[in-house]
Structure 1
Amino acid sequence: MNMKKWLLTALFFLSITTVFAQGKISGIIQDNNGALPGANVVIEGTSTGTSTSFDGTFSLNAATSKGNVVVSFLGFTSKTIPFTIVNGQADLGTIVLSDEGNVLGEVVITSTVIDVAKDRKTPVAVSTIKASEIKEKLGNQEFPEMLANTPSVYATKSGGGFGDSRINIRGFAQENIAVMVNGMPVNDMENSAVFWSNWAGLSDVTSAMQVQRGLGSSKLAISSVGGTINIITRTSDMKEGGSFTATLGNNDYIKTVGSYSTGKMKNGLSASILLGNAQGNMYADGTQFSAQNYFIGLGYEINDKHDLQFTFTGAPQWHNQRSAAPTIAQYLKYGGGSEPNRKYNSDWGVLNGEQYSFRTNFYHKPIASLNYNWKINDKTKLSTVFYGSWGRGGGSNGAGAIRGNRFFADNLRLTDGTINMNLIQAWNSGYPTSLGTRSQVGGAYQNSASTSNNLTNGISKISSVNSHDWYGGIINLNRKLSESFTLDFGLDARTYRGYHFQVLNDLIGATNYSDNFDVNNVNDAGVQQPRILSETYSTRPSFNPLTDVKGQEKINYNNDGLVRWYGAFTQLEYTQGNLSAFVQGAISQQGFKRVDYFKYKSSDPLSSTDFENILGGNVKGGANYNINEKHNVFLNAGYYSKQPFFNAVYPNNASLVNGNLVNEKILGFEAGYGFRSSIFNANLNLYHTTWKDRYQRSTDNAADNPGGYYDFAGITEIHSGVELDVNARIMDKLRLNGMFSYGNWVYDGNSTSNRYDANNAPIAGGTSQTLYLDKVKVGNVAQMTASVGADYEVVKNLRFDANYRFSDKLYAFISPGSFSVEGHKGSLELPSYGLLDTGVSFKIHRTKDSKDSFNLRLNINNLLDEVYIAESRSNIFADDKVSTAANAPTYQQAGRTYDGVADANTVYFGYGRTWNLTFRYEF
């Protein structure tokens, strides 16, 4: 159907709506400062709605003589207003929305711990995605992908395993993006990492998600260098009702979710529960998974001054991964030579008729929180949250070798590129193979971590366990000093203990495993002895979040990382007429301690260090001015002194503190302009961020310094750019949206090194390295993104939407330590690409006047089946030589390129066409 027919269809249904209308509803929407242009007005239980014009007025046709209209605006408490049509009219007069509480979606946020940015008030760049959009468009995608159409956001599936996606905001990786759940920071306290598979259940319990790019509005001393992802989950006092959802997708994906909320009952109690299960395979081969999720919320409104909310949520899961990025040549080889096999995964095989992966991630990370809100009086509120998180699990790998061949070696592969698991099992068990027959050690087929070429060793599957216990609390006092000034003051405390060791998962036919890394395992003469182990542990998550990890038999390494955090923060807000402003400051002390049970004798002081305490903090401020009902501008600026990660404090897996330990320093500036009208909204942002003293380490390969490394100082990045997002309501049934962002994210200046030995002690001599980084593009991200989308209601309750997203200036991942030679070629630029996603939604109520509804949603992602490289882990150019030989040709000369990229690069291709179909019943 061409565009002309679409428009005729739209006009036809508009005319029908007009003919059968019972009358017109009109009114004016205001806040305490005047008109609210762009406020949403919807007739309850229908899709009939409109937006207020620049003077706050609205009018819409009603098909019934009585009902309710729901008025909402981001950052304000929604209102439900009854109407009755008399003589074809219903004038609702002036409706005033209150902004006394933070509001997102259906949830009114009474806790001042949660910082929600408000439109035309909070001076930050922000995008909000509500639960309705997440329910419709997520399907079998990953949670971060919901943000892919946000300016300056680059989200990919990375290796493609369940929950293995990653997100980048303004050129900063997610380790430098603060992720908050109901105001609680959830980035790992040792390395700030976020593993989305641990939070897979969040998509089912999220009421709304805000992406605050840049400084963000959080009062805490968190390092939101690139931005803040603020996730607001369900609460127990949601409106009464429930739902049942079933989703089917490609590759045998199936997910079911059920939920119910009592709503706030007369006695002040409320409860909400959700249970879900998902299983199947992801797009890449060998990526089977199984995941569950649960949410329990209990609430008690004691009276109008005291409110308690308890939540407990978790998502135990296991999934096989594609951790190793294959080369382009491998994708081509196993795709027939002309087109790449985008699904190729080099980490798995088949054993006993079942999928067997050496790379399995398994984890269960529940989080419990208790929120208490006390309205002391009309001017003073006290909000507290106390929380705990217990992570149990890890990720597996292969250990050892067969005749020097590790599990990923070509000699151990079948013709389809999968791992020959039958060969490995036969060798481990002592049967003759194409590589010979294994010899015994002490009458046993004994595996170890050795990779040397001998007849005695074999291959095992082992896991690196990264479990933790984490407790914290946040207290915030909010005081309205006057009609214009509001003061916040609070405390933030956290304590964390991470358990890091390896265990044996599968001997794959061998008898036992020999480990010789525990210096405290000695005989009567005090001589270190190997430990002979045979107990194995499952690569499936424990549903008990308090499982004891200390009693497990550990191999290779065994240490704990302890982190303590104490913080204080304050914020002063000013609101008067069209001007709103804030200034905020926070200080934190982060302490790091390392305990090692294998590397040091228990009598050695280094087996348990003291806490290394480091101060950090931030200060930021900004102002927003509403020029009139349509135009507003804002400015903000901030400075962060960010403590380094745990591995920078104790580098090289040793217990000596880094001798060149400095805080990272971030200085950011931002300006924005907003336009609001009844049919068109736009936001334009400019930003400039300087990131100094980035930590970087590289190996020292000199023969006189085995195990040593270079520590680089003064690495600086500059991230600047422009962002634009727009949306328009062309007619009641047609909405358009779009965004454009362009960044210039580069390294600034060069860096010189200090030299250290394997024990972290500074040493002289050797050749001091220089990293020639000046003007090198920051990698692993697209620096230009754009999208355009449309949502059209074909007939009542039947909607179609489509979105096209384009990524350009996409650079490969780079390690700064690789730029030690002057005159290098910089960052490898990958081919640009565009993706078209589409969806169809249908909704019907059980009866004409019923609130119960049946919802059907079909999503097709990458409809055109675009073949594209989403990320590259290497930086090899087409005009680089294929070998070090003097007369070696370049990759281009040798015909070894794909789409202009050298085929030796290790990459992840993006997913091809995928689909998901969701049925949801709401009651």
Structure 2
Amino acid sequence: MKNRFLVLGLFVFTLGATAQEIPQDSVKIEALDEVLLSSTRAKSKTPVAFTNITKEELESLNLGQDLPILLDQLPSVVTTSDAGSGVGYTGIRVRGTDATRVNVTINGIPYNDAESQGTFWVNMPDFVSSVEDIQLQRGVGTSSNGSGAFGASLNLKTLNPSVEGYATTSHSVGSFGTRKHNLSVGSGIKNNFYAEARLSNIQSDGYIDRASSDLKSFYSEAGFINDKTQIKALIFGGDQETYQSWNGAPEAVVNGDLAGIQEFIETNYSSDEEADNLLNAGRTYNSYTYENQVDSYKQTHYQVHASHQFSSQFSANLSGNFTTGKGYFEQFKDDEELGDYFPMHSNASDEGDVIRRRWLDNEFTAIVYSLNYKKDQLNLYLGGGYNSYKGDHFGEIIWDSFASEIPIRDRYYTSIGEKTDFSSYVKAEYNVTSRLFAFADLQYRTVNFSSFGLSSDLEPIDVDKDYNFFNPKLGLSYKIDNYNSVYGSFAVANREPNRDDLTKNPVLPKSERLNDFEFGYKHRTALFYATANAYYMSYKDQLVLTGDLDNAGDPIRENVADSYRAGLELQVGYKASDKFRIDANATFSKNKIDRFNYVVYDTQYDPNTYETVGYAPVVTEYKDTDISFSPGIIAGGAFTYTPLKELNLSVISKYVGKQYLDNTSSDSKSIDAYFVNNFNASYTINPNWIKEVSFNLLVNNIFNSEYVSNGYTYSYYYRPENSGDDAITENFYYPQATTNFLLGMTLKF
């Protein structure tokens, strides 16, 4: 809290300065930001597939939904929301790869969680309001900091310093009790100093029953800038509490199949309360009914960046980051045994109900640097980074109904996870001729991960692994004429398993390797653009999603020896007149596993110990099957009509093809293709009393489609005497909201 007051105090001081403002053209903000992002950003000539999104393009859509939902229209992107409304826990997949494979950086600092490798945007609500622009690179791209990109890189740059002072406030309301409120202020640049700050609050009841969100966030920045140097300090973070909706809904509930629901009730020995919920909730079903079944987490980021242009040929950047996070998820569990928590207790067989919390208390430190030398046709970079992570995992019981007394709030399990990550790279860009551009990037990365203690299932954890990776990238681009260009690249990425892979899998997983081939064509005129990008991503020991979840709701993964993703990404845009334009994209792909063994366990078989209590598992070999959650077709488009200079109207469409829940290519375990259309309207006026007033309307799913965008599946045998030999399969889905709206107003002073 002291840090917040320090930054806000500096803001007040600089806001009150009266010195002459520096003209914008004398402040080389863009050039210095290029120094800051040199290790992560692709440029127009870089031979990779990428898309840039500016803050202006995001403004009319930024009404409270999470960042992944705002990126839904980008090529090869599929998004989903646990709560169904885009607020709370959301996910993004690019080219069929999940968020753990998307390398995310904020101002060049790695953001992916070091242990899970995922990104949790719910911990930074409304961060888009403090973003200048976003670049999504598909494939390995130019990722140089953090874990390797196995599907995409997402690079976020926070706001450029505003030359003039400003104040902006935004407010929106919408379906499912959704509302967003924020206030942003900036001092402008005075005496070479500036400061900016934002406070935000987002709340939503969610489309899914009880899937509420209460999200708070802040952003503050202060700095010094002149024509050679920029130094800035940032503090930003979020404080979120979301009601859990991680379990999805059984297939029969989503489909309204009463006979199937009854069968599910009988198979799972559901209680009367659970059965009533299953029979009456409909597609907004949430299995959780305990009033405080929440996930609560607070995260704060501290960043310092220094960029300096030593000469016209040499510049450098040094960045530091420290992130703290602490939180828990709370669960009510009935009919538990005391020995499940304290196995050495004298009355371990006692049964009762418990309320438990599973905690994570962690911190992350990062140092990133880059040196840039430019002379004639050569642009040379030397850079690297060091990251250190420590996470304390522990569980506690805060209430119970056991007859025996137990130590309330004592830790019934605890484990420590530590990870260090060091990387260095040298990157060269060279204009061979006025038409031919060459790119090369050589990175070496070394990783150590260790974890010791007990898991939440009271299983011992003893992991200490080292990984060493060499990741080269090479590419060429050729300018055919002023309107047409082609490019090609080859990149290698290696990636370590995450914590769950190493601590929960009965078979120790291997690291993964990706060889990524990209070939593209670009055409652009004043009124029309078209791009085509063909890719072939060949994997060795890829960790694919099995389709199942563990007992904490996290996806389970397994190595497959040989697999690939091959596709064609197309983009077109045409400005027919000053009033009408069309933009569209489509991806056509094949995503295949050469062969793998599909294992189905008996309910009496323990996969952790391999002890056969009943029947042994059934193993089936599959060949040439589809990779889970990898649709063969993804398409999007927007028709924009501007009848007045102040008014924009858009119809935004998204089509996602069939997805398989696991890797068996089974139609009975799949997500149907869906086609969803949204409507977006923005109206802006500039009255005399204020700089700008804008109104934004977003109507999602205007044709009221009932669709699901995510799910999971598991199969098992239950073979008591005379029960038969058929496996039981249960599918669960995450229904997305039917027609809903968000209406917002922004005032700029």
| TM-score for the superposition, normalised by structure 2 | 0.83
Distance verdict in 2 for CA 1:652–1:172, change over 3 Å: closer
TM alignment of 1:728-743, pairs within 5 A = 728-743=574-589
Matched residue count: 687
Q: Is the 8 A contact 2:66 2:126 kept in 1?
A: no
CA deviations 1:758-790 (Å, max 9, x no partner) are 999999xx9898662421111224331112211
The Cα shift of 1:721 comes to 0.5
Question: Partner of 2:231 in structure 1?
Answer: 308
Distance verdict in 2 for CA 1:917–1:882, change over 3 Å: farther
Distance verdict in 2 for CA 1:804–1:712, change over 3 Å: closer
Distance verdict in 2 for CA 1:731–1:885, change over 3 Å: farther
Distance verdict in 2 for CA 1:600–1:712, change over 3 Å: closer
TM alignment of 1:626-637, pairs within 5 A = 626-637=479-490
Out of 42, 56, 71, which is 1:132 matched to? 56
Amino acid at match of 1:668: D
Amino acid at match of 1:172: T
Q: Is the 8 A contact 1:270 1:299 kept in 2?
A: yes
Question: Partner of 1:811 in structure 2?
Answer: 659
Q: Answer yes or no: is 1:344 the counterpart of 2:285.
A: yes
Out of 248, 266, 275, which is 1:325 matched to? 248
Question: Partner of 1:501 in structure 2?
Answer: 394
Question: Partner of 1:863 in structure 2?
Answer: 702
Amino acid at match of 2:442: G
Question: Partner of 2:75 in structure 1?
Answer: 151
Q: Answer yes or no: is 1:299 the counterpart of 2:223.
A: yes
Distance verdict in 2 for CA 1:643–1:842, change over 3 Å: same
Structure 1 window deviating more from structure 2 (725-734 vs 383-392): it is: 725-734
The Cα shift of 1:345 comes to 1.2
Q: Is the 8 A contact 2:103 2:146 kept in 1?
A: no
Look up the SS of the partner of 1:623 in the other structure: strand
Question: Partner of 1:38 in structure 2?
Answer: none
Q: Is the 8 A contact 1:844 1:854 kept in 2?
A: yes
Out of 339, 364, 368, which is 2:302 matched to? 368
Rounded to whole Å, the distance in 2 between the matches of 1:336 and 1:395 is 22
Rounded to whole Å, the distance in 2 between the matches of 1:592 and 1:337 is 42
TM alignment of 1:583-598, pairs within 5 A = 583-596=440-453
CA deviations 1:214-234 (Å, max 9, x no partner) are 121233363111010111122
Q: Is the 8 A contact 2:277 2:285 kept in 1?
A: no
Distance verdict in 2 for CA 1:115–1:597, change over 3 Å: closer
Q: Is the 8 A contact 1:712 1:752 kept in 2?
A: no
Question: Partner of 1:920 in structure 2?
Answer: 746
Distance verdict in 2 for CA 1:784–1:796, change over 3 Å: same
Question: Partner of 1:283 in structure 2?
Answer: 207
Rounded to whole Å, the distance in 2 between the matches of 1:340 and 1:776 is 35
Rounded to whole Å, the distance in 2 between the matches of 1:384 and 1:362 is 33
Question: Partner of 2:531 in structure 1?
Answer: 683
Q: Is the 8 A contact 1:160 1:322 kept in 2?
A: no
CA deviations 1:418-453 (Å, max 9, x no partner) are xxxxxxxxxxxxxxxxxxxxxxx9xxxx99689xxx
The Cα shift of 1:716 comes to 2.4
Rounded to whole Å, the distance in 2 between the matches of 1:448 and 1:600 is 8
Structure 1 window deviating more from structure 2 (235-244 vs 623-632): it is: 235-244
Question: Partner of 1:94 in structure 2?
Answer: none
Structure 1 portions without partners, runs of 5+: 1-77, 82-97, 350-355, 405-440, 515-531, 536-552, 699-709, 892-901
Cα RMSD of the aligned pairs, angstroms, is 4.0
Q: Is the 8 A contact 1:833 1:868 kept in 2?
A: yes
The Cα shift of 1:885 comes to 7.8
Look up the SS of the partner of 1:133 in the other structure: helix
Q: Is the 8 A contact 2:84 2:735 kept in 1?
A: no
CA deviations 1:619-667 (Å, max 9, x no partner) are 11112111111111111111122222234444559xxxx7x66431110
Look up the SS of the partner of 1:191 in the other structure: coil
Structure 1 window deviating more from structure 2 (497-506 vs 684-693): it is: 497-506
Bigger relative contact order (CA 8 A; separation at least 6): 2
Distance verdict in 2 for CA 1:502–1:801, change over 3 Å: same
Q: Answer yes or no: is 1:178 the counterpart of 2:103.
A: yes
Out of 665, 687, 693, which is 2:513 matched to? 665
Amino acid at match of 2:699: I
Q: Is the 8 A contact 1:499 1:561 kept in 2?
A: yes
Distance verdict in 2 for CA 1:862–1:712, change over 3 Å: closer
Out of 407, 425, 431, which is 1:533 matched to? 407
The Cα shift of 1:118 comes to 2.4
Out of 629, 633, 642, which is 1:784 matched to? 633
Q: Which has the larger radius of gyration?
A: 1
Question: Partner of 1:396 in structure 2?
Answer: 330
Q: Is the 8 A contact 2:388 2:421 kept in 1?
A: yes
Out of 376, 379, 390, which is 2:313 matched to? 379
Look up the SS of the partner of 2:123 in the other structure: helix
Rounded to whole Å, the distance in 2 between the matches of 1:285 and 1:226 is 33
Question: Partner of 1:623 in structure 2?
Answer: 476
Look up the SS of the partner of 1:874 in the other structure: strand
Look up the SS of the partner of 1:217 in the other structure: coil
Amino acid at match of 1:919: M
Look up the SS of the partner of 1:197 in the other structure: helix
The Cα shift of 1:696 comes to 7.5
Structure 1 or 2: more strand by fraction = 2
TM alignment of 1:414-453, pairs within 5 A = none
Rounded to whole Å, the distance in 2 between the matches of 1:913 and 1:449 is 48
Out of 557, 567, 570, which is 1:721 matched to? 567
Question: Partner of 1:852 in structure 2?
Answer: 691
Look up the SS of the partner of 1:315 in the other structure: strand
Look up the SS of the partner of 2:675 in the other structure: strand
Structure 2 portions without partners, runs of 5+: 1-22, 262-275, 547-555, 600-604
Q: Is the 8 A contact 1:170 1:226 kept in 2?
A: yes
Question: Partner of 2:118 in structure 1?
Answer: 193
Rounded to whole Å, the distance in 2 between the matches of 1:324 and 1:631 is 49
Question: Partner of 2:7 in structure 1?
Answer: none
Amino acid at match of 1:838: F
CA deviations 1:657-706 (Å, max 9, x no partner) are x7x664311101011111101111111110000111135899xxxxxxxx
CA deviations 1:343-377 (Å, max 9, x no partner) are 2212125xxxxxx143x111111111100112122
Identity of aligned residues (%): 19
The Cα shift of 1:830 comes to 3.0
Rounded to whole Å, the distance in 1 between the matches of 2:497 and 2:101 is 11
Q: Is the 8 A contact 1:328 1:907 kept in 2?
A: yes
Question: Partner of 1:217 in structure 2?
Answer: 142
The Cα shift of 1:590 comes to 0.6
Rounded to whole Å, the distance in 1 between the matches of 2:574 and 2:598 is 51
Amino acid at match of 2:186: S
Look up the SS of the partner of 1:365 in the other structure: strand
Question: Partner of 2:11 in structure 1?
Answer: none
CA deviations 1:257-315 (Å, max 9, x no partner) are 000112221x11010100111123111110122111100001112x4333201111101
The Cα shift of 1:888 comes to 11
